[in-house]
Structure 1
Amino acid sequence: MALYVIGAGMGRTGTYSLKLALEHLGFGPCHHMANVHANPEQKALWRAAGQGQLPTWDAAYAGYLSAVDWPTAHFWREVSDHYPHAKVILTVRDPEAWYDSMAQTIGHDGCCYQ
């Protein structure tokens, strides 16, 4: 199975809304950071990727038709090279509003990708 849509936008730029929209339009399930948090195998896979051990993209996105948010946003170039027919969507947000949103949510408890 191949990805049809790849999100290049960082979290807090409307990626969860984009996930829901893509699923509503038939491009689901959509991989999102929420999936990583909920799955220990995904956590291990993406931690290794962050340390330079890139996954087999087909295995990383097995069962998904689209992917948005982190960690896809970090690897969007490599993922789009692997899925050259996929459309890439870049979500953006005013930088100050983005920072405020990050500080109040993901960065609020000093956390997050533990």
Structure 2
Amino acid sequence: MTLSVISAGFGRTGTMSLKLALEQLGFGPCHHMIEVIENGEAQVPLWNAALAGTPDFGAIYDGYNSAVDWPTAAFWQETAEAYPDAKIILSTRSAESWYSSISETILATVWAPDTWPPQATEWFKMVTKVLERSFG
């Protein structure tokens, strides 16, 4: 299976709704951060390798027909190069609304490493690197 659709939109821009819509329209399964959470043992090392400059998109997206949300959004250009026939979607949200939403959810947790459960430490470190890649 190869990716048919890639989303460049950041998390908190309707990516879960987009994932569900793509799956209903026949572009599933769709890779989303939820897959990284649920399959962390396999996914986190693959994304760490991508962050280190050696992505294996074939392994990351094995079995998926589309990809949305982070970490894909941080690598959308490289992913598009790897899957040149894929269509690119950009989901957006007003800056104020997006920042409020991400601050109250993702950033509130990522910026508080003392609250990370020990079994999720590697996932949180990877997410922190993905956000740094996205925003500098």
Place the TM-score, normalised by the shorter chain, in its bin: over 0.9
Letter of the 2:102 counterpart:
M
Q: Figure out how many residues of one structure are paired with residues of the other and give that number.
A: 113
1:42 aligns with 2:40: no
User: How many angstroms apart in 1 are the aligned matches of 2:74 and 2:6?
Assistant: 11
The RMSD of aligned alpha carbons is 1.4
Contiguous gaps of at least 5 residues in structure 2:
117-122, 125-136
Aligned counterpart, 2:133: none
Moved more, 40-49 or 12-21: 40-49
What secondary structure, in the 3-state scheme, does the structure 2 residue paired with 1:64 have? coil
Which SS does the other structure have where 2:47 is aligned? helix
Q: Hey, what does 1:108 align to over in structure 2?
A: 108
Confirm or deny that 1:86 pairs with 2:86.
Answer: yes
Contact 2:7 2:69 in 1 (8 A): yes
Counterparts of 1:51 and 1:37 in 2: how far apart (Å)? 20
Asked if the contact 2:8–2:68 (Cα under 8 Å) also holds between the matched residues in 1, the reply is: yes
Q: State the partner residue of 2:14.
A: 14
Moved >6 Å (runs of 4+): none
- Normalised by the length of structure 2, the TM-score is 0.78
Sequence identity, in percent? 56
Conserved in 1, the CA contact under 8 Å of 2:46 and 2:59? no
Q: TM-score normalized by structure 1?
A: 0.92
* SS across alignment from 1:53: coil
Matches within 5 A, 1:59-98: 59-98=59-98
Letter in 2 for 1:29: P
Q: Which amino acid aligns with 2:21?
A: A
Counterpart AA for 1:27: F
Which structure 1 segments of 5+ residues have no match? none
Report the Cα distance in structure 1 between the residues aligned to 2:13 and 2:26, rounded to whole angstroms.
21
Partner of 1:54: 55
Cα separation, 1, equivalents of 2:2 and 2:55: 17
Larger helix share, 1 or 2: 2
1:49 CA drift (Å): 1.3
Structure 1 SS opposite 2:72 = coil
Q: Which is higher, the Rg of structure 1 or of structure 2?
A: 2
